Chains A and B, each alone.
Chain A
Amino acid sequence: NAGVMQNPRHLVRRRGQEARLRCSPMKGHSHVYWYRQLPEEGLKFMVYLQKENIIDESGMPKERFSAEFPKEGPSILRIQQVVRGDSAAYFCASSPGRVYNEQFFGPGTRLTVL
């Protein structure tokens, strides 16, 4: 049973470009969480999605950031017009249901904005 997959593992963008981060949850998991880890900090919740629905986006910056989890395919975290402050590791975690006591993490995507 493959774990949570994230790609790319490393992404370099110049200021003003767009970044797309992909997350494929574990087989049978329909709930996806995105977290951001700034340098030397802990992970911070960004958004929680179920298939085709955003359930909680209370941790998402109001502008430039969006997320989706379509019926088919991976979950996408999209950052438009990236700035240097967006440089961070972005982790995706999945679970089989909302009422579940553990999330399973992917390896993360390290975004560097030049």
Chain B
Amino acid sequence: AQTVTQSQPEMSVQEAETVTLSCTYDTSESNYYLFWYKQPPSRQMILVIRQEAYKQQNATENRFSVNFQKAAKSFSLKISDSQLGDTAMYFCAFMVTSGTYKYIFGTGTRLKVLA
């Protein structure tokens, strides 16, 4: 069975600082995608960044980047220059590229950016 673990239930960071959110996963599959989603108080799920497992290069989207360690099954999210609008729940998710392509989500990390 595939699982996703987020071991940090809550984190806080000062505005303009950098923060890293951790995620580990377990799978025997070789082809999959990894995602970070942001869920603000509105509850809308917003895609932050996506990583394809067969790509060694870490994905980057503006202030958001990942550290993908395939052998260690680790997929952390780094947020640089944190902004107040980054305050939200962050979910790590995993999608196997076979079968039904469903997401498996972690339990989330609540991030608070402090002014």
Query: Which residues of A approach B to under 8 Å, CB–CB?
Result: 33, 35, 41-45, 48, 55-56, 59, 89, 91, 93, 95, 98-103, 105, 107-108, 110
Contact at A101–B44, with CB atoms within 8 Å? no
Contact at A55–B100, with CB atoms within 8 Å? yes
A residues near B52, Cβ cutoff 8 Å: 101
B residues near A108, Cβ cutoff 8 Å: 43-45
By beta carbon, the residue of chain A nearest B99 is A56
B residues near A35, Cβ cutoff 8 Å: 103, 105
Contact at A45–B97, with CB atoms within 8 Å? no
Q: For residue A5, give the distance in angstroms from its CB to the closest CB of chain B.
A: 12
Q: For residue B104, give the distance in angstroms from its CB to the closest CB of chain A.
A: 7
B residues contacting the other copy or chain, number (CB 8 A): 23
Contact at A48–B45, with CB atoms within 8 Å? no
A residues near B44, Cβ cutoff 8 Å: 105, 107-108
Known: A91-B45, A108-B43. A42 touches B101 (CB 8 A): no
Q: How far apart sit A39 and B108, CA to CA, in the bound complex (Å)?
A: 12
Contact at B42–A107, with CB atoms within 8 Å? yes
Known: A42-B91, A42-B108. A101 touches B50 (CB 8 A): yes
B residues near A99, Cβ cutoff 8 Å: 97, 101
By beta carbon, the residue of chain A nearest B104 is A45
Can you name 15 extra interface pairs (CB under 8 A) apart from A42-B107, A103-B101, A108-B44? A35-B103, A42-B91, A43-B91, A55-B100, A56-B99, A56-B100, A59-B102, A89-B43, A93-B45, A99-B97, A99-B101, A100-B101, A101-B33, A103-B103, A108-B43
Q: Sorted from nearest, which 9 A-B pairs have the closest CB atoms?
A: A42-B105, A105-B45, A56-B100, A45-B102, A43-B105, A42-B107, A48-B100, A108-B43, A101-B33
Known: A42-B107, A42-B108, A101-B50. A56 touches B102 (CB 8 A): yes
Q: How far apart sit A49 and B9, CA to CA, in the bound complex (Å)?
A: 32
Q: How far apart sit A98 and B105, CA to CA, in the bound complex (Å)?
A: 18
Contact at A33–B97, with CB atoms within 8 Å? no
Contact for B43 among A48, A59, A98, A107, CB less than 8 A: A107
Q: How far apart sit A102 and B15, CA to CA, in the bound complex (Å)?
A: 30
